[in-house]
Structure 1
Amino acid sequence: MYLTQVLHQALQQDPTRPLTVYGDRTRTVAETVDRVSRLASALRELGVGPDDRVAMLGLNSDYYHDYLLAVPWADAVLNPVNYRWSPAEMCHSLAESGCRVLLVGEHFVDIVPQLRERCPDLATVVFYGDGDCPEGMVDGRRLVAESTPVPDARRGGDALFGIFYTGGTTGLPKGVMLSHQAVLVNALGTMATGEWGSHDGRMLHVAPMFHLADIFIWLTGMINRATHVFLASFTPAGIFDALERERINDVLLVPTMLQVMVDSPELAGRDLSSVRQVTYGTSPMSEALLAQAGAMFPNARFAQAYGMTELAPVATVLTPRDHEDPSLRRSAGRPAPHSEVRIVDPDDVEVPRGSVGEIVARGVHMMSGYWNRPEETAAALRGGWMHTGDAGYMDDRGYVFVVDRLKDMIISGGENVYSAEVEFALSRHPAVAACAVIGVPDAQWGERVHAVVVPAAGAAPTLAELQQFCRQQIAAYKLPRSLETTDALPVSGAGKVLKRVLRAQHWAAAGRQI
C-alpha cells in the first residue's frame, strides 16, 4: 500500500474532476498530478534523496496539498512544521529530524532569516506560495514549471511516511514516526465503520494541515473522491463564507471552533444546509454545544474520532448513529476496526469494565517510534501497546469514556478527581462558554480543584452559583473550590487546552507542576 495510489486511481478514472479549490483557483486531478510530479522532480534536483526529510511551513492551501503528495512521490519523508511555534521551537524540530530542505509559504517569509540563523544545517529554503519569491530563497514555482516530471517512487508499506511533532502539551515536542501503511490502514479502518464522509463530496480544510488530524481527514477525502477546498485560517466570517459559497459537505472542526461559530453574530442568515458530516476531536462536546451545532448544521451528522498522533491518529470512533443515543455522547466511541483498545492498571493488567485505568491501543496504525528517542519509544510501546497517557474506562458494550489525562488527575484530600468530569458538569451551565479544571496547591487538601471559566456573552458566573449547579451532577469532593474567569483558554495547534500554561502561575512557587 502506498499513499499516492489514490492519486493514480483518480487520474485513471476521472482526470478532469476538480480536485483542489483555493480562493478563486481550481485545479483538476490531471493538473495536480502534473504539478506533483514536477515538484517531486524539483526536490530531487535540490538534492533530496530516498528517506530525506522535507519540511513545509505554510497555511492551508493547494500548495500544501502538492507537498503532501510530492514528497512521497520523490521517495522522501514529510516533516510538517507547526506554524504556531516560535522560531526556536521550529528549529528544534528541523534540527532534530535532520531536515535540510524547507518549503515556505508567503505568510512566513519574514521569519526565514531567524530560521537560517538558528538552523545552520538547513541547506535550502524554497519559496512555495503566491506572490514574488523573496531574495535569497529558491523560487519553487519556477522550479516546478521548469522541471521534467518524474515517475512516482511509489513509496509505501513500512517505509516512513512522515515525522509529525506532537503538540507539546506535556513538554518538548517529540517526532512521531508513521509509516505509509499506518496512515492508510487508519484511514481505511475508520471509513470501514460505514458512516464516514461523503463520496464525491466537497471537503473544507480549516483545521491546520500541519496537524495529523487534518491530514487524516484529507486522506479519507482522497479515498472518497472529494474536492478539497482550503481555507488559510479560521475566522467565523471566513468559514461561513466558504461553507456557503463552496457548498461544503464535510468538515473537521474542534469544539473550540464550533463554540466560536455558534456564538458569532456572523451566523445569522447563513445557509449551511449543504454540510452532511461534521467530524470533531480533541475532546467530547458538551450537550449544550452539540445541540447548538446541530441547529447550525441542520442536515449534518456528527462523528467524533479519539486518538493521538502516535496512533495515526484514530483509535476509537463515535459514529453518527451513536450520537443518537444521549447516554453515549460523552463517550469517545468504540474501537475502530483497525484498532484494539484496552483499559489497564499500572502493571498493564486489564481492569474490569467500568473501572478507570490507562487507555492503551495496538494495531498496524501504531507509530514506528519517536525519532531518535529509543528510551521514550520503549516506554510508550511497552508490551506492544501504545500507552496513551489518558485515563478512561470501557463500558459493557465496549464504549470508551475518556475521563482525563493521567497527569491532569487531581488528588485532593486523598481522593482522585478527574478534571474532565468536573469540566463536563461546568460546561452544562448556561453562563459557561468554555472551561478548564486544574489542580492548584492547597495547604489543607494538597491540591484544590480550580476552575478556569470563559463566561458566556453577558454572563458573570460566581463560584457559589457554579458549585450549586455542579452539586446536582458530581460528588461534593469534586466541586471546584476556587474560580477564575478569562477571555480565552490557551490552546495548542490542535485545539487542545494547554493546562500546563494554566497551572504554571499557580505552581511556580512550589517548584513543580503537580
Structure 2
Amino acid sequence: MGEPSAPGTPRGDRLHHPQLTTLVDTARFHAAHSPQVTAVVCEDRALTYARLHRESNRVAHAIRATGAAPGARVAYLGKESEHYYEILFGCAKSETVLVPINWRLTAPEVSHILQDSGSDLLFLEDEFGPVLDRLPTAPPKTVVRLAEGTGPAAWTAGHPDTDPALSPTPDTPVAQLYTSGTTGLPKGVVLAHRSFFAVRDALAGAGLDWIDWRAGDIALVGIPGFHVGGLWWATQNFNAGVTVASMRAFAPREAIDLIRDKGVTTACVVPAMLRMMLGEPGVEPDDFTTLRKIVYGGSPISEALLEESLALFGSEFAQIYGLTETGNTAVCLPPADHIPGHPRMKAAGHPYPGIGSKVIDGEGKELPTGAVGEICLATPAHMVEYWALPGKTAETLVDGWIHTGDAGYVDDDGYVFIQDRIKDAILVAGENVYPAEIENALERHPGVAEAVIVGAPDERWGEKVHAFVVPVAGREPSPRDLHRFLVDRLAAFKLPAAYEFIAHVPRNPSGKILRRALRDRFWNDADRKVN
C-alpha cells in the first residue's frame, strides 16, 4: 500500500531544527544557542543545556579513557534523572552505544544483557548494588557506582569539559535496547541516531501538529528511559531545545504534583498511567491547566478511559504505535481523531508522512485494503539490527520493512487497525512479554511437567499473564510455590497473575501446542484480540 496521504492540521509555530541529525549535534547546538535554558529538571535539581553539554563532554572523555573504542557497549542500571541523560549524551559523543537496563529485572536477567551486549563498562546506581552482588556471571570490567542525586561527577573529575570533537553520522549506533524474546532470551535492538530524528522531520516536512514542540514547553517523561518510548520522547524534546521533566520512576501523585507545580505542557505516558492519575484522591482539572498535549502508547485507550481523561486533563491526545524495532512510533492517531464513539478510535493510527504500511499474508504476499494479515512498516527510523543475531534480523527487517508480528488491516484512508498478535506477545502496561521466557522458567520447577503462557484482558494493565500448568504426578505445586520459584528469576511484570492447572496441553496432530485454543477463551467476547 506504500505511503498514504496524511491527515491533520498544518502549523507553522513548531520548533524544528533540521540541521540537527545526531544527538551530538543536539547537545552542541543548544549549548551554543540557548545555554541558560533548562534542559532537564529532576526533583529539586535543574540542568541547563550549557551544563548538560559540559558534563556529557566529561563523561565522553572518561569513557574513552577506559579504552572503550567507538562501538563499545556502555550499560546503565538505574532510574531516570538528569545524570542518565549526561551519560546518554556522553555515549553519543564518545561514539559508544548506551545499553539501558530495565531496573525491574532480576539478577539473571541483568546478567544476560550484560553478557550478550559485551558491556565492559557499567554505570550502576547504588540502589541496585544488590543486583550486581547476585549476578551469576562476572560483572563488567569497570563499574561506576552512582549515589542517588550525584551522578558520575566523582568519576569524571579531572577529565576536561571540552568537546571531544567526534562526529558520528546519522547511521552510527547510539543505543541498544533489550526486548523480550520469542525464544525466551531478550534481544538487543540496535538503534542509530537517525531513529531519534526521522519522525520529527516527517512531521515538520508536512507541517503537521500531531505531535509538536513549542518554545517554553516542559515535557513530562512518564515512560522509563530503558523503554524506547521514554528514550524517544526525551530526545525529541532535547532536539527541540525545550525542558524535560524527569521522574525517577512514575508515581501518580508525584506526576500530578509535577505537572501542576512545574507547569508541564506535554507528557508521554501509557494508558495505565492515565488511569492511575485519574484514581488519585483529590485530583481535579485545575491540576492540569498548563497541559496542552498527552502522547500515549504501549496499548490502546478504551473509550471510557478517553472520556474520563478528556474531562480531567482537558488536553489534546495523540496515540502512537510502533516497536523498538521501528525506532518507536511509526503510526499516530492524531488529536483530531480522538472522538469518543468514533470508529477511528479503534485504529492504531495513520503512518507519518514518508512512512509506508502494508499487510501481508503468510507467504509474504501483499493483501488488499481491508484484508487482515501481518502489519509491516517501512520507516527511516528502523533498527540497525538485532545485536549478534543476523538470522533474527533477516526475519524481522526485510528489504527495509519491519515485520511487526501484529495482525491487522489498513482501511481506505490509510489508517492501521490492529486486530490480534501473530508472535504471541503479551502487552502488560506497555511492556512486551513473550510466553517462551516464562514457560522456560516455569518448566525448571521440579513439579511442572509443562507450562503454556497466554495473555488475558486486564482492565488496569491492558493485559495480564495467565499460566496453564501441567503438574508432575505426585509433585503438584501450589500457585504460591510457583510464584516463590519465579520471583527471583523473572521481573515482576512478567509474573503470572493466575495459575490454572490442566491435565494436558492441547496439540494438533503434528504435536504443535494449540496456544490459541487456550488464549481464545479469554477473548471470545472481544471485537479484537488485543487490549
| TM-score, L = length of structure 1 | 0.78
What secondary structure, in the 3-state scheme, does the structure 1 residue paired with 2:250 have?
coil
Task: Give the structure 1 partner of residue 153 of structure 2.
Answer: 141
What secondary structure, in the 3-state scheme, does the structure 2 residue paired with 1:146 have?
coil
Go from structure 1 to structure 2 and tell me whether the alpha carbon gap of 1:100 and 1:503 turns closer, same or farther (over 3 Å shift): same
Q: Where in structure 2 are the equivalents of 1:339-488 lying within 5 Å?
A: 339-408=355-424, 452-454=457-459
Q: Where in structure 2 are the equivalents of 1:183-222 lying within 5 Å?
A: 183-190=196-203, 193-200=208-215, 201-222=217-238
The letter of the residue matching 1:64 is Y
Task: Give the structure 2 partner of residue 460 of structure 1.
Answer: none
Go from structure 1 to structure 2 and tell me whether the alpha carbon gap of 1:222 and 1:508 turns closer, same or farther (over 3 Å shift): farther
Go from structure 1 to structure 2 and tell me whether the alpha carbon gap of 1:384 and 1:15 turns closer, same or farther (over 3 Å shift): closer
In the TM superposition, residue 258 of structure 1 has moved relative to its aligned partner by: 1.2
Go from structure 1 to structure 2 and tell me whether the alpha carbon gap of 1:268 and 1:507 turns closer, same or farther (over 3 Å shift): farther
* Match for residue 127 of structure 1 among 142, 145, 154: 145
In the TM superposition, residue 363 of structure 1 has moved relative to its aligned partner by: 3.0
What secondary structure, in the 3-state scheme, does the structure 1 residue paired with 2:71 have?
coil
| TM-score, L = length of structure 2 | 0.75
Task: Give the structure 2 partner of residue 55 of structure 1.
Answer: 75
In the TM superposition, residue 80 of structure 1 has moved relative to its aligned partner by: 0.8
The letter of the residue matching 1:393 is Y
Q: Where in structure 2 are the equivalents of 1:260-275 lying within 5 Å?
A: 260-268=276-284, 271-275=287-291
Farther-moved stretch of structure 1 (258-267 vs 57-66) = 258-267
The letter of the residue matching 1:293 is S
The letter of the residue matching 1:175 is G
In the TM superposition, residue 155 of structure 1 has moved relative to its aligned partner by: 1.6
Contact 1:3 1:184 in 2 (8 A): no
What secondary structure, in the 3-state scheme, does the structure 1 residue paired with 2:171 have?
coil
What secondary structure, in the 3-state scheme, does the structure 2 residue paired with 1:303 have?
strand
Separation of aligned partners in 1, 2:460 and 2:170: 49
In the TM superposition, residue 243 of structure 1 has moved relative to its aligned partner by: 0.9
The letter of the residue matching 1:308 is L
Question: How far does the alpha carbon of each residue in 1:442-487 deviate from its partner, in whole angstroms, 9 at most, with x for none?
Answer: xxxxx9x99655599xxxxxxxxxxxxxxxxxxxxxxxxxxxxxxx
In the TM superposition, residue 309 of structure 1 has moved relative to its aligned partner by: 0.3
The letter of the residue matching 2:505 is A
May I ask how many residue pairs the two structures share in their alignment?
A: 434
What secondary structure, in the 3-state scheme, does the structure 2 residue paired with 1:119 have?
coil
Tell me, yes or no, if structure 1 residue 234 matches structure 2 residue 250.
yes
Go from structure 1 to structure 2 and tell me whether the alpha carbon gap of 1:263 and 1:191 turns closer, same or farther (over 3 Å shift): farther
* Match for residue 45 of structure 2 among 22, 25, 32: 25
Farther-moved stretch of structure 1 (106-115 vs 3-12) = 106-115
Go from structure 1 to structure 2 and tell me whether the alpha carbon gap of 1:229 and 1:16 turns closer, same or farther (over 3 Å shift): same
In the TM superposition, residue 382 of structure 1 has moved relative to its aligned partner by: 3.2
Task: Give the structure 2 partner of residue 105 of structure 1.
Answer: 125
In the TM superposition, residue 264 of structure 1 has moved relative to its aligned partner by: 2.3
Identical-pair percentage: 31
Contact 1:42 1:144 in 2 (8 A): yes
Separation of aligned partners in 2, 1:379 and 1:455: 33
* Match for residue 320 of structure 2 among 286, 290, 305: 305
Task: Give the structure 2 partner of residue 485 of structure 1.
Answer: none
Contact 1:394 1:400 in 2 (8 A): yes
Contact 2:297 2:320 in 1 (8 A): yes
Separation of aligned partners in 2, 1:310 and 1:277: 25
Task: Give the structure 2 partner of residue 10 of structure 1.
Answer: 30
Tell me, yes or no, if structure 1 residue 285 matches structure 2 residue 275.
no
Go from structure 1 to structure 2 and tell me whether the alpha carbon gap of 1:261 and 1:187 turns closer, same or farther (over 3 Å shift): same
In the TM superposition, residue 503 of structure 1 has moved relative to its aligned partner by: 8.3
Tell me, yes or no, if structure 1 residue 321 matches structure 2 residue 336.
yes
Task: Give the structure 1 partner of residue 312 of structure 2.
Answer: 296
Contact 1:185 1:338 in 2 (8 A): no
Task: Give the structure 1 partner of residue 178 of structure 2.
Answer: 165
Go from structure 1 to structure 2 and tell me whether the alpha carbon gap of 1:455 and 1:508 turns closer, same or farther (over 3 Å shift): farther
The letter of the residue matching 2:199 is N
Question: How far does the alpha carbon of each residue in 1:259-291 deviate from its partner, in whole angstroms, 9 at most, with x for none?
Answer: 122122242475211111101111210111011
Separation of aligned partners in 2, 1:59 and 1:210: 9
Tell me, yes or no, if structure 1 residue 510 matches structure 2 residue 505.
yes
Contact 2:104 2:492 in 1 (8 A): no
Separation of aligned partners in 2, 1:190 and 1:101: 37
The letter of the residue matching 1:263 is G
Go from structure 1 to structure 2 and tell me whether the alpha carbon gap of 1:18 and 1:454 turns closer, same or farther (over 3 Å shift): closer
Separation of aligned partners in 1, 2:155 and 2:286: 42
Alignment gaps of 5+ in structure 1: 133-138, 410-418, 421-437, 439-446, 457-494
Separation of aligned partners in 2, 1:283 and 1:496: 19
Separation of aligned partners in 2, 1:71 and 1:450: 37
Separation of aligned partners in 2, 1:284 and 1:160: 30
Separation of aligned partners in 2, 1:107 and 1:454: 32
The letter of the residue matching 1:251 is A
Farther-moved stretch of structure 1 (232-241 vs 259-268) = 259-268
Contact 1:3 1:156 in 2 (8 A): no
Alignment gaps of 5+ in structure 2: 1-20, 428-434, 436-451, 462-490, 507-512, 516-531
Contact 2:77 2:122 in 1 (8 A): yes
Higher relative contact order (CA 8 A, sep 6+): 2
Question: How far does the alpha carbon of each residue in 1:94-149 deviate from its partner, in whole angstroms, 9 at most, with x for none?
Answer: 1011111000123212322223x5235x10110234368xxxxxx93212232112
Q: Where in structure 2 are the equivalents of 1:41-52 lying within 5 Å?
A: 41-52=61-72
Task: Give the structure 2 partner of residue 181 of structure 1.
Answer: 194
Separation of aligned partners in 2, 1:283 and 1:131: 32
What secondary structure, in the 3-state scheme, does the structure 1 residue paired with 2:287 have?
coil
Task: Give the structure 2 partner of residue 76 of structure 1.
Answer: 96
In the TM superposition, residue 227 of structure 1 has moved relative to its aligned partner by: 0.6
What secondary structure, in the 3-state scheme, does the structure 2 residue paired with 1:348 have?
coil
The letter of the residue matching 1:25 is R
In the TM superposition, residue 195 of structure 1 has moved relative to its aligned partner by: 2.6
Contact 1:162 1:177 in 2 (8 A): yes
Contact 2:330 2:379 in 1 (8 A): no
Question: How far does the alpha carbon of each residue in 1:64-97 deviate from its partner, in whole angstroms, 9 at most, with x for none?
Answer: 1111111010111111111111111111111011
The letter of the residue matching 1:102 is L
